[in-house]
């Protein structure tokens, strides 16, 4: 890979991570704000409830999301943007670790695209609900493991504080997912802990890499292809 190409994929990958997190949070807020009967509750409702096209009741939750298509589009965009950004930035990681990260990124991407295509509603085919739940689990697991690996490895060339943050964010995300089933009153909050962990990681990682690229462009040129 030429130096000129490296000078493009590093900032592009970093920008994609930041844009991805921003589009998710904005689209989630827009979709939640449109839900008024009853009002959407971030603590008790799952994120997937925002993408359900039916007005129904499921597992004790009243679900009616008028802008379900906005959230489902965001799910699909997230899978594509996150996977592309991570694959581009994986050039900073050498050897086998690079391949592992790419596999995790692609698995996450496919998982999140499926989440957007198959909604989490009991009104549709049971297979669709199973695909949605399974794909969401894969997406959450892979993204948080990527964050942990990014912190465990020194290949990104970011400061020690970042590595601690990265591992902590990924670990907190995985722990949050385990706690989703503790109580129906906090299920949505803990699910968000498992998702916002990698969104926060994306913003921090993308921003730091962009800043480093602007201050030390020579570092990009010396990264092995």
Three-class SS of residue 119? coil
Q: What is the reported pLDDT for 80?
A: 97
Q: In Å, what is the CA distance from 7 to each residue of 3, 97, 121, 220?
A: 6, 22, 44, 6
Handedness of CA 92, 166, 22, 142 (dihedral sign): positive
Query: Which pair of structure tokens corresponds to residue 199?
Result: 């969104």
DSSP letter at 39 equals B
Closest to 150 measured CA to CA, from 216, 104, 81: 104
Q: In Å, what is the CA distance from 186 to each residue of 112, 158, 177?
A: 23, 35, 11
Q: Is the pLDDT of residue 43 over 80?
A: yes
Q: What is the reported pLDDT for 215?
A: 74
Q: What is the pLDDT of residues 188-222, one digit of tens each?
A: 999 999 999 999 999 999 999 999 887 764 444 44
Q: What is the pLDDT of residues 80-105, one digit of tens each?
A: 999 999 999 998 888 899 999 999 99
Query: Which pair of structure tokens corresponds to residue 79?
Result: 């899978």
Q: Where are the domains of the chain?
A: 3-215
Strand partners, 63: 56
Q: What is the reported pLDDT for 218?
A: 46
**Mean pLDDT, to the nearest integer, of 56-61?**
84
Q: At what angle do helices 126-152 and 187-215 cross, to 10 degrees?
A: 40
Query: What is the pTM (predicted TM-score) of this model?
Result: 0.89
Taking the mean position of all CA atoms in its chain, how far away is CA 28? 13
Q: What is the reported pLDDT for 216?
A: 65
**What's the fold here for domain 3-215?**
Rhopdopsin 7-helix transmembrane proteins (1.20.1070)
Query: Which pair of structure tokens corresponds to residue 172?
Result: 């907190």
- Number of Cβ atoms within 10 Å of the Cβ of 222: 10
Q: What is the reported pLDDT for 204?
A: 96
Query: Which pair of structure tokens corresponds to residue 43?
Result: 């603590």
**Mean pLDDT, to the nearest integer, of 41-56?**
92
What is the C-alpha separation between 9 and 25, in angstroms, rounded?
25
84 contacts 108 by C-beta, under 8 angstroms: no
46 contacts 184 by C-beta, under 8 angstroms: no
Angle at 30 between CA 180 and CA 112, to 5 degrees: 50
Closest to 9 measured CA to CA, from 224, 212, 222, 220: 220
Q: What is the reported pLDDT for 28?
A: 97
Q: CB within 8 A of 13, min separation 6: which ones?
A: 84, 85, 86, 87, 88, 89, 206, 209
Question: Band of the pLDDT at 73, cuts 50, 70, 90?
Answer: very high
Q: What is the pLDDT of residues 112-171, one digit of tens each?
A: 999 999 987 777 677 888 999 999 999 999 999 999 999 998 888 889 999 999 999 999
Query: Which pair of structure tokens corresponds to residue 168?
Result: 């902590």
Q: What is the reported pLDDT for 128?
A: 85
Q: Locate all alpha helices (DSSP H) within 56-94, ordered by sequence.
A: 68-89
**Mean pLDDT, to the nearest integer, of 45-61?**
89
């Amino acid at each position: 890979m030429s130096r000129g190409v490296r000078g493009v994929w590093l900032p592009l990958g970093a920008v994609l991570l930041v844009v991805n997190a921003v589009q998710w949070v904005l689209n989630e807020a827009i979709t939640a704000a449109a839900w008024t009967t009853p009002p959407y509750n971030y603590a008790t409702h799952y994120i997937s409830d925002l993408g359900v096209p039916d007005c129904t009741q499921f597992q004790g939750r009243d679900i009616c999301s008028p802008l379900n298509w906005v959230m489902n589009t965001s799910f699909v965009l997230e899978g594509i943007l996150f996977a592309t950004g991570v694959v581009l930035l994986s050039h900073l990681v050498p050897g086998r670790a690079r391949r592992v990260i790419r596999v995790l990124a692609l698995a996450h991407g496919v998982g999140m695209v499926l989440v957007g295509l198959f909604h989490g509603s009991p009104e549709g085919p049971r297979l669709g609900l199973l695909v949605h739940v399974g794909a969401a689990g894969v997406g959450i697991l892979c993204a948080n493991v990527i964050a942990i690996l990014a912190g465990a490895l020194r290949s990104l060339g970011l400061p020690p504080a970042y590595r601690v943050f990265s591992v902590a964010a990924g670990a907190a995300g995985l722990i949050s997912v385990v706690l989703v089933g503790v109580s129906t009153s906090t299920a949505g909050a803990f699910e968000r802990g498992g998702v916002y962990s990698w969104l926060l990681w994306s913003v921090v990682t993308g921003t730091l890499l962009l800043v480093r690229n602007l201050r030390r462009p020579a570092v990009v040129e010396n990264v092995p292809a």
